[in-house]
């Protein structure tokens, strides 16, 4: 989230280029929402299994990449 965040303060001039100044926050929100949804979905699905299947869904693969398992 480095671009556009840091120690910046919101100024009225940012309203003219709102999407540029708010995009890092919106992107971070949607990424967090996606990975939380994948953790809940596949956590429930694979909770009691001893091992996961050989062919995994893309959401499970994305979650594994996020936490560094794969």
Q: What is the pLDDT along the chain (70 residues), one digit of tens a residue?
A: 455 566 667 788 888 988 888 888 888 899 999 989 988 888 888 777 777 677 888 888 888 888 887 6
Distance CA 2, CA 25 (A): 10
Residue 1 in domain: no
Query: Based on the structure, what is the number of domains in the chain?
Result: 1
Residue 35 in domain: yes
Residue 17 in domain: yes
Distance CA 14, CA 69 (A): 40
Residue 5 in domain: no
Residue 32 in domain: yes
Domain that holds residue 50: 12-67
Residue 6 in domain: no
Pair 24, 4: CB distance under 8 Å: yes
Residues 6+ apart with CB under 8 A from 66: 35
């Amino acid at each position: 989230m480095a671009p556009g965040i840091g120690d910046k303060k919101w100024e009225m001039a940012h309203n003219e280029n709102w999407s540029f100044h708010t995009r890092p926050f919106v992107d971070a929100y949607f990424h967090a929402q996606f990975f939380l949804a994948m953790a809940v979905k596949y956590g429930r699905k694979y909770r009691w299994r001893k091992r996961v299947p050989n062919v995994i869904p893309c959401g499970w693969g994305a979650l594994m990449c996020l936490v560094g398992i794969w």
